[in-house]
Amino acid sequence: MKALLALEDGRTFPCRSFTGHGESFGEVVFNTSMTGYQEVLTDPSYRGQMVVMTYPLVGNYGVNPVDVESSRIHVSAFILREYQDFPCNFRATGSLGDYLLAQGILGVDCLDTRALTRHLRTAGAMRAMISTRDLDPASLTARVRQTPKMEGQDLASTVTTGQAYFWKNDQRTFVKPATPLNASVWPDHSGRPKVAAFDFGVKYNILRCLERAGCDVLVVPGATSAGQIRSLSPDGVFLSNGPGDPEPVSYAVDTIRELIGYKPIFGICLGIQLLGLALGGRTYKLKFGHHGANQPVQNLITRKVEVTSQNHGFAVDVNSLDPELVEVTHINLNDRTVEGFRHKKYPLFAVQYHPEAAPGPNDANYLFSQFVEQMKEYM
């Protein structure tokens, strides 16, 4: 079925829908991973974005109920060079096309993804729309320019949990609505560190890694107050990944600022940006973001280079951080952006990349152990 993708700068790309009639809009970004498309689709950090996969053949290993990072697909549309409708993998329980169709997500292929990616690298990530109904370039471009920009939107509030839950053995056990969030909700844990994890769009594998590191994990809504966290009396606080611009998530910044120095804090992705704002820093939007695997990051403490998986469109301005209080610990070797920092006085650290990435490199798994060690020092 014929379809058309139009960018806000007027560039258009003909394509084909393999999920039937539909329209979608969002910010279009590209992902350089060769595998892991189901993890990409279900990553809440992609909320409001249409994802272009640079690897040409997608769908060949199908989908399954295990390789998900949340309870649903979050991308606005999936843009491919060539879709494979006949998966061949012993773990597959269905096709990618049926998976997208079941959740009302538009999938297109037969699009020149190389040309689109090169254009985005030059012009930057931008708003776009795909339609099977409106195939007129001028009309579709005009409609794109009327859609809202991602900057200034609080997208984290659209993906956070509405109710606190415990994570254990890949299962969520929700705290009953009438139950007050205080120290009595924790199960007997025989000395296991208790982690209050803020959900700004948390990925399941982050929770798995925290549990695997020996933690009891209570996931709380992103708008949970500092007073509620103190009532829980956790051993540590985790700040999750999430979508979009960190500045509109001001309620979380205020809460984090109140919690600095209270307990050890560990942040990932959006978590580092919110932490940077809470420490008085600034954030800014990257030209086309970091989306994909094999991003080189240097650990400035060990001098080792870690191969990382990343998904973010904003970054912390290194010049806005107070060097008397904050030490930059990791930098991106491609563009020298901040990839990690720690506080010089309080047990607080964060990274911009994803140490839990699955599929992805395992070079940064040590960060979860580092968090546990800090918590045990303060227990």
Closest to 42 measured CA to CA, from 105, 128, 94: 105
| Partners of residue 107 on adjacent β-strands | 78
Is residue 88 part of the annotated active site? The answer reads: no
d(CA 217, CA 371): 13
Peptide linkage before 221 cis (omega within 30 of 0): no
Contact 345, 325 (CB under 8 A): yes
Q: How far apart are CA 180 and CA 99, in angstroms?
A: 38
Find the catalytic residue in 27, 119, 269, 339: 269
- Active-site residue, from 119, 290, 291, 354: 354
Query: How many Å separate Cα 147 from the centre of its chain?
Result: 22
Count of helix runs (H) and strand runs (E) in the chain: 9, 20
* CA pair distance 241, 243, nearest whole angstrom: 7
Tell me the C-alpha distance between 283 and 278, whole Å. 11
Query: What is the number of other CB atoms lying within 10 angstroms of the CB of residue 95?
Result: 18
Q: How many CB atoms lie within 10 A of CB 1?
A: 12
Angle, helix 250-259 to helix 270-278, in steps of 10 degrees: 70
The token pair that represents 266 in the structure block = 């560990």
Place of tokens 């990932």: 268
Examine the residue annotation and report whether 269 is marked as an active-site residue of this protein: yes
Q: Among this protein's residues, is 354 annotated catalytic?
A: yes
Among 69, 211, 339, 356, the active-site one is 356
- Rounded CA gap, 350 and 371, in Å? 10
Task: Please list the active-site residues.
Answer: 269, 354, 356
